[in-house]
């Protein structure tokens, strides 16, 4: 009976005009905490507040992340990651967001550290337009690059869900079995570039902070940064989806005095990367561990 009622409410909502006005009204009531409202969508902009600044995002019909952020703010979607990210952007002058999607992390970085140089890479043509739109909406000097970072320069197949808004696209076709995605898929050709080559062409003297969220292509991104990563020694946020990725990351970073922090509520260091502990990790050069001293989650 409850499921039938839920479906009926969702069907009725689909017919409601002025959806943004309705959602904005509900957003400021106790109903915003009800699970049902996650099915209520609208097209248009909305404001997101942090403890020290606010910014705008564009919502779309199938925008899962934006819909969650609209109803719950930044307290539910990747809360621990975002708290840490905002903290480390304060100390970072050059920030690289690899797999930027619609740009929430890039926007947070540029808003929190306006003088920082922020570069966002997003190879999906559909999602790239949304990244550009969010950056423009907030009038931010973020450099948006419509290519994928990898270990080779060229054109390669890119695998993504067919629907217009998604979060699981990759140069690695195994991403669909990893995420158990069963829907329709698109395969397109995208430009790829090693980060080392980008650094040379754009004369970047340092990179302080990097986010790598590329759905099983993380090792290729790191290989394309291998000539400079251990001289620049950035703080790295990285997704770890399986045990094989965890093992390869350990082999890559173990000899170079990085410390591993599963991104969770207590954010305590561990001896080895373990995908069972967390799906996202903070990789911190040993000489930068002091930057965590004054970290206070919101």
| Confidence at residue 90, expressed as pLDDT on a 0 to 100 scale | 96
| Confidence at residue 179, expressed as pLDDT on a 0 to 100 scale | 60
Higher pLDDT, 13 or 244: 244
- At 139-177, the pLDDT tens digits run 999 999 999 999 999 999 998 887 656 667 888 888 766
- Secondary structure (H, E, C), the chain: CHHHHHHHHHHHHHCCCCHHHHHHHHHCCHHHHCHHHHHCCCCEEEEEECCCCEEEEEECCCCHHHHHHHHHHHHCCCHHHHHHHHHHHCCCCEEEEECCCCCHHHHHHHHHCCCCEEEEECCCHHHHHHHHHHHHHCCCCCEEECCEECCCCEEEEEEEECCCCCCCCECCCCHHHHHCCCCCEEEEEEEEECHHHHHHHHCCCCCCEEEECCCCCHHHHHHCCCCCHHHHCCEEEEECCCHHHHHHHHHHHHHHCEEEEECCCCCCCECCCCCCCCCEEEEEEHHHHHHHCCCCCC
Give the separation between CA 10 and CA 4, rounded to whole angstroms. 10
Share of the chain above pLDDT 70, in %: 95
**pLDDT confidence tier of residue 6, bands split at 50, 70 and 90:** confident
Q: Which range in 7-16, 58-67, 196-205 is most confidently predicted, on average pLDDT? A: 196-205
> If one looks up domain 75-292 in CATH, what number appears?
3.40.50.150
**Would you tell me how many other CB atoms lie within 10 Å of the CB of residue 158?**
22
Per this entry, what is the length of the chain? Answer: 298
Question: Domain ranges in the chain?
Answer: 2-73, 75-292
| Confidence at residue 238, expressed as pLDDT on a 0 to 100 scale | 98
Mean pLDDT of 253-281: 93
**pLDDT confidence tier of residue 296, bands split at 50, 70 and 90:** confident
| Confidence at residue 163, expressed as pLDDT on a 0 to 100 scale | 66
Mean pLDDT of 282-298: 91
* In the predicted structure, residue 21 carries a pLDDT above the cut 60: yes
**pLDDT confidence tier of residue 64, bands split at 50, 70 and 90:** confident
* In the predicted structure, residue 16 carries a pLDDT above the cut 60: yes
| Whole-angstrom Cα Rg for the chain | 20
* In the predicted structure, residue 199 carries a pLDDT above the cut 80: yes
Per mean pLDDT, which range of 131-135, 179-183, 275-279 is the poorest? Answer: 179-183
What's the chain's average pLDDT? 91
- At 32-49, the pLDDT tens digits run 888 888 888 889 999 999
| Confidence at residue 9, expressed as pLDDT on a 0 to 100 scale | 79
Mean pLDDT of 111-136: 96
**pLDDT confidence tier of residue 180, bands split at 50, 70 and 90:** low
* Report field, pTM of the whole predicted structure over 0.95: no
- 233 touches 208 (CB < 8 A): no
Mean pLDDT of 203-224: 96
Give the separation between CA 208 and CA 224, rounded to whole angstroms. 17
What phi-psi label fits residue 57: left (phi over 0), alpha (psi between -120 and 50 degrees) or beta? beta
Residue 212's nearest CA partner among 61, 134, 60, 99 is: 99
* In the predicted structure, residue 87 carries a pLDDT above the cut 80: yes
Residue 58's nearest CA partner among 103, 17, 21, 96 is: 103
| Confidence at residue 183, expressed as pLDDT on a 0 to 100 scale | 64
């Amino acid at each position: 009976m409850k499921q039938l009622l839920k479906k009926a409410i969702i069907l009725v909502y689909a017919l409601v005009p002025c959806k943004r006005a309705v959602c904005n009204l509900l957003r400021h009531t106790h109903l915003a905490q009800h699970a049902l409202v996650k099915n209520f969508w609208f097209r248009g902009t909305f404001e997101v507040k942090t403890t020290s600044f606010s910014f705008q995002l564009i919502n779309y019909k199938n925008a899962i992340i934006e819909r969650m952020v609209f109803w719950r703010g930044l307290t539910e979607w990747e809360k621990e990651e975002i708290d840490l990210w905002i903290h480390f952007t304060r100390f970072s002058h050059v920030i690289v967001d690899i797999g930027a999607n619609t740009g929430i992390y890039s926007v947070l970085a540029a808003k929190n550290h306006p003088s920082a140089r922020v570069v966002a890479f997003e190879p999906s043509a559909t999602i790239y337009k949304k990244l550009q739109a969010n950056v423009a909406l907030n009038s931010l000097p973020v450099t948006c690059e419509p290519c994928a970072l990898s270990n080779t320069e060229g054109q390669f197949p890119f695998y993504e869900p067919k629907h217009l808004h998604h979060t699981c696209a990759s140069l690695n076709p195994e991403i669909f079995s990893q995420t158990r995605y069963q829907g329709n898929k698109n395969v397109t050709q995208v430009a790829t570039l090693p980060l080392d080559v980008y650094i040379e062409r754009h004369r970047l003297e340092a990179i302080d902070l990097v986010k790598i969220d590329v759905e099983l292509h993380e090792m290729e991104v790191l290989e394309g940064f291998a000539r400079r990563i251990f001289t620049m020694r950035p703080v790295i946020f990285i997704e770890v989806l399986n045990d094989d990725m965890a093992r390869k990351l350990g082999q890559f970073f173990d000899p170079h005095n990085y410390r591993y922090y599963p991104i969770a509520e207590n954010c305590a260091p561990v001896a080895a990367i373990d995908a069972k502990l967390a799906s996202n990790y903070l990789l911190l050069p040993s000489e930068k561990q002091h930057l965590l001293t004054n970290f206070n989650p919101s």
